[in-house]
Amino acid sequence: MLTRERASGIFDRIRRFSAADEVEVLFTGSHFALTRFANNTIHQNVEEENCLASIRTNFGGRTARATANQFDDESLKRAVEASESLARVPDPDPDLLPMPDANDAGDADRNVRATRFFEQTAAITPGDRANVVGQMVGVADRHKLTTAGIYSTSESLEGIFNSRGLARWHTQTLAEISITMLAEDSSGWQKLNSPDVCNLDPLQLAETAARKAVESARPREIPPGKYTVVLEPSAALDIVGFMFWDYSGMAILDQRSFLNDRIGTKLFGENINIWDDAGHPLQAGSPFDGEGVRRQRVQLVEQGVVKRVVYARGTAAKMKKSEYANKVGAIEPTGHGFPLPNEMGEMPQNIVFGAPENPQSVEQMIASTGRGILVTRLWYIREVDPYEKIVTGMTRDGTFRIENGKGQGGLRNYRFNQSLIAMLSNVEAMSVPIRACGEESFDMVVPAMKVREFNFTEVTKF
Amino acid sequence: MKTVALLALDTAAARWATYADVRIVQMRNRALTTKNGRVGHASESESLGVGVRVIANGAWGFSASADLSDAAVVATAARAVEIAKASARVKRQDVHLAPEPAAVAEWTTPYKVDPFSTSVEQNLGLLLKVDAEVRAVAGVTLAETGMTFAREESWFLSSEGADIHQTKYSTGAGYTAYAFAGSEIQKRSYPNSFGGQWQNRGYEQIEEMKLVENARRVAEEAVALHRAEQCPEGVFTIILDGSQLGLQIHESIGHPIELDRVLGMEANFAGTSFLTLEKLGSLRYGSDLVNVVADARQEHGPGLGTFAYDDEGVAAQSTPIITNGRFTGYLSSRETAHTIGATRSGGTLRAEGWNRLPIIRMTNISILPGEKPLTLEQLIADTEHGVYLETNKSWSIDDKRYNFQFGCEIGWEIRNGKRVRMLKNPSYSGITTEFWNSMDAICSRDEWTLWGTPNCGKGQPQQVVGTGHGASPARFRNINVGSAYKS
């Protein structure tokens, strides 16, 4: 893996090769390994090491980027030349800011109080992964099920150096297990990740997935319609994740956000509080953004009221001069920008839902539900209406009927068409938020949710 | 590069791998966008690395590195063998590969103009001209354009003696006009949504797209959608334009015919398939008019799934997938071919880059055009009452590929053979086989386009590759329309 010292040396060489007014190099890289299993067999098993140096050059209000993964002089010179050639073409952008210095960027290290790099995760070998997979396959065999899934481990780096003296470096590890258990006409699923492999319990994940597969066997069909649902954290995460692209100053300026004309209004139920907080102990990722600016803790939603959105440096400056300046709450760089140049601006990616006053477990939510549906996982979610924030998708791998406070066996899978605004206005109960992950959205700290009048429109054939 | 590959093969053999292949890939990309009259994104990238795939102790291992020094290549190949031996600890049977002649070949995408030989000034000049045309229409609140080129040069060598050098080019461009007013955001895209149209060609692809010529019309439609009526909910005859039919093929034919899905290899992520093995040769997939092929050959056209050899050295082929409505073929690989009684792979194993293991992917999955001459306007004229839908806006399908729902950017009500009014927010949904069996007309060759889907995701770790989908407009009867807005 690339070290900070070697990266600094590469940056120094790039500076020497460049004639630009300003130079920034964003380093990203990882040593990534993934063991994949299906039909109770390891069928794919991969490992890779790669590192990128992405060079941004500025010339008098113009900027562009070129990226290389070879660090010899010839490759770096070619990338510098490509970046500079691109940067010379556009007309100057009056809104382009100088690159941030250390003062502009803030102290990102303050964000993360504990390390996100764990030697025990980095040290996992192919043999270690095979042993764990073997144990999870053993669970499948014991329940007479077929299993498929992954066990991955990685160490990754992200660093930024620029010619105004800014230097940022972040390393972390991540271990992840995702497992599906399949029976003849049903299935169950679980997924979890953590920077520290010790936080994963593979056998518990396998047993839970197996229980869901067994208990949802011989699924029945009830008519589509509006039901109270209990969304497990992964399901809640995957659906709500579709709104966070809109919590962006640039999305407001572009008039492509469902929050246009709605910031400051009570859009959701009073029990909804949402932060973006890269420093939260259950979060992962780097403490700085694509320009190296410290990611700040930002409250996006307070008691159902959308308070504000996040900003890259350039977007904040632009917003202050815009017609929206008095309508969008606080405007300041929050450290959520994507690497420049880009057209999307920024987005919050370390979402943390506030804990409810009276948290309920999933079991308590089921017990208080007369008629409803328990959802393990949602799938293939896509936006139908960008302003009403209607999204569609399917249930998958563990959908259960709830009658009179009890689980009453498996259901076939359903298509939903649901407004996220309506959904977050109809949350009746939440669990303590946990670190969760899905497949449709990024990892979050999110609770299980009990939601009334969730809109299922069709049922599929299994 | 050949020396590097041979070093990796020798290393794997010395560690008792029974099979090995090496892919060295050099990628170059240019990506340009504009937004509301300014350059949004301007970047170039290069990536070079080696991926080593081996079978040892009857199981797979794969390792990849960007470091092509001798020491690193030896370590990468040795690591692949070590990983394979770990895989063998959790196996039920040994991996066997269908035989394939060891090809020695050179191939390059046919092109007229190397896209990287064109200047950035020329590229951005065109995009900014489109951008200006779009923003000239009152009511447009956001104009976005984009253009991307890619060049992928690969060297594939195997322990069986294959030695294949391929260079593929792809180009794509498109734009979207957004109009926000009241409580609605409407948009129109050209030539297709989510990036436009993509093919394996040179810059001539861009020059032939008529990007500027269509910009005003597209922008005017985005604004006009605010005045259009909501698409009604009900059961209707629908006509899909070619680009939407291409995506319909992608989701409800292309993915379910992937044999790795069928065999459960993708069960944890992408899902499985309703097309279980006993359905081959017997399932009535669609009406008699439905003829679909998986065709990676150049003679099919310059699709994003066109190549000479796949990423395990199997020559490009054409496989009949649906023949006169009957299900006749899967997408297969050397490892999976035997499960359908085939003696040879269908040649569909593809990887995103040097650092990814090749897996079964769509090539060009195309519906063949109707044999009788039929234009879109003739098809509309032949339709008493229905909805014509253009350009995808949203897409979703379950994990066995039965139940789907698509939204389109714009719809038109057809009455007595004429488009009588614009409809906003059109959507339709259904069950895959019921839908394809309801097709009662398809336009002929003149209306057929080989569309490109550049963003198909599959696998863990996820890989994004481009796929091709030839389609012409087609008509479907008794389709559920409007359920996306059902409350």
Average pLDDT over residues A92-116: 86
Q: Which of A68, A137, A384 sits opposite B407 (nearest CB)?
A: A384
- A-contacting residues of B 68-97, CB under 8 Å? 79-80, 82-84, 86-93
Are B458 and B467 in contact by the 8 Å Cβ rule? The answer is no
Beta bridge partners of B56: B59
Tens of pLDDT, residues B59-69: 999 999 999 99
Mean pLDDT for all residues in chain B: 97
Tell me what the mean pLDDT of segment A313-337 comes to.
97
Chain A residues with beta carbon closer than 8 angstroms to that of B455: none
Under the banding of pLDDT at 50, 70 and 90, the label for residue A113 is low
Give the position of tokens 């481009």. Answer: B466
Domain assignment present for residue A264? The answer is no
Q: Tokens for A294, please give them.
A: 């410290």
Verify whether the Cβ–Cβ distance B144 to A343 is below 8 Å. yes
Q: What residue spans define the domains of chain B?
A: 2-227, 230-485
With CB atoms and an 8 Å threshold, state whether A182 touches B83: no
pLDDT the model gives residue A111: 66
Pair (A160, A234) in one structural domain: no
Same domain, A80 and A192: yes
Residue A259 lies in a domain: no
Question: Which pLDDT belongs to residue A291?
Answer: 97
* Residue A22 falls inside a structural domain: yes
State what percent of residues in chain A have pLDDT above 70. 99
Question: Are residues A105 and A183 both part of a single domain?
Answer: yes
Largest Cα separation within chain B, whole Å, is 74
**pLDDT of A114 over the 80 cut:** no
- The pLDDT score that the predictor gives to residue A189 is 98
Residue B229: per-residue pLDDT: 97
Residue A64 pLDDT exceeds 90: yes
| B287 touching chain A per CB within 8 A | no
Mutation pick from A31, A44, A318 vs chain B, by most beta carbons of B within 10 Å, is A44
In a domain, A340, yes or no: no
Domain co-membership, A178 together with A232 = no
pLDDT at A106: 87
A185 in the same domain as A146: yes
Question: What tokens does B417 get?
Answer: 């053979």
Cα(B391)–Cα(A335) distance, integer angstroms: 36
Closest partner residue to B35 among A65, A343, A462, by Cβ? A343
At the topology level, CATH places domain B2-227 in PmbA/TldD fold (3.30.2290)
Strand partners, A27: A53, A159
Of A229, A186, A244, residue with least CA distance to A416: A229
- How many CA atoms are closer than 13 Å to the CA of B278, on its beta-carbon side? 0
Number of structural domains in chain A: 2
The verdict on A203 and A221 lying in the same domain is no
Q: Residue B56 and residue B37: Cα distance in Å, rounded?
A: 56
| A232 and A140 part of one domain | no
Residues A412, A268: contact at Cβ < 8 Å? no
Domain boundary among A190, A208, A226: A208
| CATH classification at residue A174 | 3.30.2290.10
**In this structure, is residue A329 part of a structural domain?**
no
Residue A112, pLDDT score: 64
Q: Domain check: are A58 and A197 in the same one?
A: yes
Query: What is the pLDDT averaged over residues A175-188?
Result: 98
Segment B247-291, tens digit of pLDDT: 999 999 999 999 999 999 999 999 999 999 999 999 999 999 999
CB atoms within 10 A of CB B107: 16
pLDDT at B453 over 80: yes
Is the pLDDT reported for residue B487 higher than 90? Answer: no
pLDDT in the model for residue B246: 98
- B143 pLDDT more than 70: yes
Q: How far is A376 from chain B (nearest CA, A)?
A: 14
Q: Which residue in the set B86, B267, B269 is minimally distant from A130, CB to CB?
A: B86
Phi/psi of residue A275, nearest 5 degrees: -115, 160
Rounded average pLDDT over B324-350? 98
The helix or strand, by DSSP H or E, that contains position B481, with its residue range, turns out to be strand B474-481
Asked whether residue A334 is domain-assigned, the answer is no
B399-448 pLDDT, tens digit each: 999 999 999 999 999 999 999 999 999 999 999 999 999 999 999 999 99
Q: What is the phi/psi pair of residue B143, to 5°?
A: -120, 125
| Statement to judge: residues A73 and A113 lie in one domain | yes
Q: Please tell me which residue of chain B has the smallest CA distance to A72.
A: B67
Q: Mind spelling out the 3-state secondary structure of A107-149?
A: CHHHCCCCCCCCHHHHCCCHHHHHHHHHHHHHHHHHCCCEEEE
Identify the domain containing residue A76 by its residue range: 4-208
Same domain (yes/no): A228, A129: no
Asked if residue A110 has pLDDT above 90, the reply is no
Q: Which of A57, A74, A76, A458 to mutate to test binding with chain B, by most B CBs within 10 Å of its CB? A: A458
Query: Are A225 and A130 in a shared domain?
Result: no
- pLDDT, mean of residues A330-347: 97
pLDDT tens profile B177-217: 999 999 999 999 999 998 999 999 999 999 999 999 999 99
Chain A contact for B265, CB < 8 A? yes
Q: What is the mean pLDDT of chain A?
A: 97
Q: Are residues A187 and A122 both part of a single domain?
A: yes
pLDDT per position as a tens digit, A221-275 = 999 999 999 999 999 999 999 999 999 999 999 999 999 999 999 999 999 999 9
Using CA atoms, how far residue B125 sits from B115, B129, B195, B275, B344, in Å, is 15, 6, 18, 48, 48
Residue of B nearest to A45 (CA): B61
Q: Which residues pair with A33 in a beta bridge?
A: A47, A153
